[in-house]
Amino acid sequence: MEVYTKKSDDNDAQYLLTYINNVLIPSSNEFFILLDDNKVLLHHAFSFNAILAHAIDYMVFIANKMSKVKRKDFIFNFDKQYSVDGCVHINNKFRLLDAVNNSFKHVELNPKRYSDLIETYGDLTFHSLSAKDGKIFFESPSHAFDYCRVVMRPITAIFKCDLKTTNDVDDFINGRVYGCTGYGYFDYDYEPHDAIDRMTDACGSECMDCGEGGDDCDCPNFIYDGKKAEFAENLDPNFDFEDVMSKISGTREFSK
């Protein structure tokens, strides 16, 4: 469902563009260096979480001028509209990001406003996030996972779609353009010439839940809704080891 269809005010759109391009993306670049090195501390996570959550406020501001929309509905819609990819166990990434930000800003969350999240995760407080060996964990009685990799990483990817104009901003707010982590997309010809690429991709495929390779994926230690998680490999569903191997050796025979 689109929030509005007309063109928004150029100055408002410019505000969001400046924020995304001059604040959000540069800070994400710094944040992901820390994340890659497992050197994230609690203040890094809360700071970058606030920067991401603030972008929501800008978008609600623009959307509200075009059409009456409640902030809660807007964020709910955003989660649906983008169906933020990455970890399938957490299907309300924008709402959770917003709730974590508000639990950081306020001592207590408004239980009415976040009733659905509280039902899923239990009470959300400043202590829902904690640092452990350079990673930041979201922990509740039913859940335990790497919050930066599972929630903030795919949300950041949404903002990386080269927005430049007011039309881009309108398309973005209404879910018509957005970035993604690219999981599940395999652009192969399925011919001998791309067999080596297919094998390389399959052997090095990363985990869709945390973005790490097989050796670094920590997902077997995570818990979603009381259940243990596992390495969620981003593997082409058409990948057949024997078939790809035979095409690779066929290519070698051919090139002799």
Least spacing, CB of residue 210 vs Zn ion, in Å: 3
The token pair that represents 2 in the structure block = 């689109």
- Calpha distance 66→6 (Å, rounded): 8
Least spacing, CB of residue 133 vs Zn ion, in Å: 16
Selected range binding Zn ion among 76-84, 107-115, 202-210, 244-252, rule: CB under 5 A: 202-210
Asked whether position 157 contacts Zn ion by CB under 5 A, the answer is no
Could you tell me where the DSSP H helices lie in 83-216? 93-105, 115-121, 147, 153-159, 166-173, 195-203
Q: Which residue is nearest to Zn ion (CB)?
A: 207
Asked whether position 217 contacts Zn ion by CB under 5 A, the answer is yes
Least spacing, CB of residue 34 vs Zn ion, in Å: 18
From 219, 224, 234, 244, residue interacting with Zn ion (rule: CB under 5 A): 219
Least spacing, CB of residue 209 vs Zn ion, in Å: 4
Asked whether position 210 contacts Zn ion by CB under 5 A, the answer is yes
CB of 77 or CB of 181, closer to Zn ion: 181
Least spacing, CB of residue 26 vs Zn ion, in Å: 27
- Calpha distance 170→83 (Å, rounded): 18
Asked whether position 207 contacts Zn ion by CB under 5 A, the answer is yes
Q: Give the other-Cβ count within 10 Å of 91's Cβ.
A: 13
Residue 117's contacts (CB-CB under 8 Å, 6 or more residues apart) are 92, 95, 96, 99, 124
CB of 60 or CB of 84, closer to Zn ion: 84
- Calpha distance 96→209 (Å, rounded): 16
Asked whether position 66 contacts Zn ion by CB under 5 A, the answer is no
- Calpha distance 256→252 (Å, rounded): 6
CB of 103 or CB of 211, closer to Zn ion: 211
Number of helices (H), then strands (E), belonging to the chain: the values are 11, 5
Least spacing, CB of residue 92 vs Zn ion, in Å: 19
Binding site for Zn ion (CB under 5 A): 207, 209-210, 217, 219
